[in-house]
Amino acid sequence: MGIADCGVPIARRADRALQIVNVIPTFAGLDQRQSPEPFKNAWYVLDSNRKNIAIQPAKSVLDKNMQPNAPLPAPQSAIQNPKSKPQYSPLPSGPVWLIANPTAGGHRTRRHLDRAVALLQTRLALVEIRWTQRRGDARQWAREAADARAALVIGYGGDGTLNEIANGLVGSNTALGILPAGTGNVVASELDIPRDPLVAAHALLAGRIEHLAIGRAHFSPAATCLPPSPTTHNAQPAPFLPPHYFLFSAGIGFDATVCGRITPLLKRWFGRGAYIFDGLREYARYRSPRLQVSLDGAAPVVCSELLIANGHYYAGRFVIAPDASPRDANLDVCLFTRPGRWNLLRYALAIITRRHIRLPDVICRKVQALDVAADRPVPLQLDGDTVGTTPARFAVCPQALAVVTPAPA
């Protein structure tokens, strides 16, 4: 259905306007809403989320030749959270690269990968297979593949490996294929990609190219943390590193601190348990920062923790923003306003039970850009890897990355 909205023209006496609003749900199947005040000439529009009814004057949209009950197009101002129209295309033909993380998945998954590679070689022109040795290899090789005009780069690994490959492919015509083998596999969960490499290879061969939105982050490891200016909504000049991109999540505060302390060896031994172990150890000594966050140019809001979602899932199967999607042109942000370890524990329990969005001290918004400053350098993570500190600036990049997604069943 896309963003098709329902519009109903109303031209009635003012004293019957409220009665008309109450009638709308009966024939449109909508939730009942009360109008804030009667309108003599008004038309009511339900937004694409089926939550709000926007009231628009009818004078500018009603035409003399229109039938009284003819449907009217919804104005753009009445559409909340507009989603980009999906753009699909078949798998491209041309050279294919495979970039794999040798530490991901363990020996059992590696055996499945061998079978997956054998399958891919029968259907695709697989010309390069490279195994990463250190952080940054996947990004460098993905850029080399894009410069060599590869049609597809298949990533085997976790969210960190896929993040690096995506950073190397942004701005090119090369698509990203996914064989998940990590600890969290948030990217695979979000796109409904099977976790078994062999099954994922079958899904890739039957898949399609989809252009998804990703997030862009500017950040700095410098110690200078000046607050954002309310007039420019930008952080004060800081030695930002070149932009980094993230696929589905970013965070500033406790989660980034924990991610930064976990080693690949711990993740290989304990899997997700490594995050629990390190989280408990960090919790005992954690001191909440004071973040100042400017959303889309608004005056800064003070909070202690910040999570940014470009997809439904976070840190495995946890849900931070139920409406977040890489198919729209927004970033979903959650600001946790109260500092202290007790509040941090309360927020964590609320996230586990998916009740955090109901808390009065949690602010959830859809934005296209935000700026973050802090009272000290605070760690920042992108897709589960700690990459820098505040100050930072984030923005959404609509339809910036071509990804192979499973075809609908």
The answer to the question of residue 83 being in a domain is no
Does the pLDDT value for residue 74 go beyond 70? no
What pLDDT was estimated at residue 268?
A: 61
* 8-43 confidence digits (pLDDT tens): 333 333 333 333 333 333 333 333 333 333 333 333
What pLDDT was estimated at residue 390?
A: 94
| pTM tops 0.85 | no
Contact criterion met (CB below 8 Å) for 382 and 163? yes
What is the arithmetic mean of pLDDT over 49-54?
36
What pLDDT was estimated at residue 405?
A: 95
Q: Are residues 205 and 332 in the same domain?
A: no
- Those residues with Cβ within 8 angstroms of residue 27's Cβ, 6 or more apart along the chain or in another chain: none
Q: Are residues 388 and 262 in the same domain?
A: yes
Omega cis (within 30) before 391: yes
What is the arithmetic mean of pLDDT over 90-100?
91
Please tell me the total number of residues recorded for the chain in this structure: 409
What pLDDT was estimated at residue 150?
A: 97
Structure tokens at 59: 């004078």
| pLDDT-above-70 percentage for the chain | 69
Q: Residue 389: pLDDT band by 50, 70, 90 thresholds? A: very high
What pLDDT was estimated at residue 354?
A: 92
Does the pLDDT value for residue 277 go beyond 70? no
Contact criterion met (CB below 8 Å) for 10 and 58? yes
Q: SS3 of 349, please?
A: helix
CATH code of residue 335: 2.60.200.40
Q: Are residues 100 and 170 in the same domain?
A: yes
What is the arithmetic mean of pLDDT over 332-337?
97
Q: Residue 87: pLDDT band by 50, 70, 90 thresholds? A: low
Q: Residue 266: pLDDT band by 50, 70, 90 thresholds? A: low
Does the pLDDT value for residue 394 go beyond 50? yes
The answer to the question of residue 118 being in a domain is yes
Q: SS3 of 400, please?
A: strand
16 against 404, higher pLDDT: 404
What pLDDT was estimated at residue 182?
A: 76
Q: Are residues 189 and 118 in the same domain?
A: yes
Q: Are residues 266 and 151 in the same domain?
A: no
The answer to the question of residue 356 being in a domain is yes
24 against 323, higher pLDDT: 323
What is the arithmetic mean of pLDDT over 147-171?
95
What is the arithmetic mean of pLDDT over 265-290?
74
Does the pLDDT value for residue 372 go beyond 50? yes
Q: Are residues 181 and 278 in the same domain?
A: no
Q: Are residues 108 and 132 in the same domain?
A: yes
Q: Are residues 252 and 319 in the same domain?
A: yes
- Those residues with Cβ within 8 angstroms of residue 8's Cβ, 6 or more apart along the chain or in another chain: 24, 28, 43, 44, 69, 71, 72
Final residue belonging to a domain, choices 159, 179, 213 = 213
Final residue belonging to a domain, choices 190, 213, 236 = 213
Ramachandran bin of 310, using left for φ above 0, alpha for ψ from -120 to 50, beta for the remaining angles: alpha
Does the pLDDT value for residue 262 go beyond 80? no
Q: Residue 107: pLDDT band by 50, 70, 90 thresholds? A: low
> What b-and-e string marks burial along 105-139, b requiring 16 or more CB atoms within 10 Å of the CB?
beeebeebbeebbebbeeebebeeebebeeeebbb
The answer to the question of residue 407 being in a domain is no
Q: Are residues 106 and 191 in the same domain?
A: yes
What is the arithmetic mean of pLDDT over 270-274?
58
Final residue belonging to a domain, choices 153, 182, 213 = 213
The answer to the question of residue 405 being in a domain is no
**Residue numbers of the domain that contains 344:** 215-397
CA distance 35 to 18: 6
The answer to the question of residue 279 being in a domain is yes
What pLDDT was estimated at residue 269?
A: 64
What pLDDT was estimated at residue 281?
A: 83
The answer to the question of residue 1 being in a domain is no
Q: Are residues 224 and 363 in the same domain?
A: yes
What pLDDT was estimated at residue 249?
A: 93
Does the pLDDT value for residue 253 go beyond 60? yes
Closest CA to 378 of 388, 370, 368: 388
Q: Residue 76: pLDDT band by 50, 70, 90 thresholds? A: very low
Identity (one letter) of the amino acid at 135?
Answer: R
Q: Are residues 185 and 41 in the same domain?
A: no
Q: Residue 82: pLDDT band by 50, 70, 90 thresholds? A: very low
What is the arithmetic mean of pLDDT over 104-111?
69
Q: Are residues 379 and 234 in the same domain?
A: yes
The answer to the question of residue 142 being in a domain is yes
What pLDDT was estimated at residue 9?
A: 35
CATH code of residue 131: 3.40.50.10330
Q: Residue 137: pLDDT band by 50, 70, 90 thresholds? A: very high
Does the pLDDT value for residue 222 go beyond 80? no
- Domains identified in the chain, total number: 3
Does the pLDDT value for residue 184 go beyond 60? yes
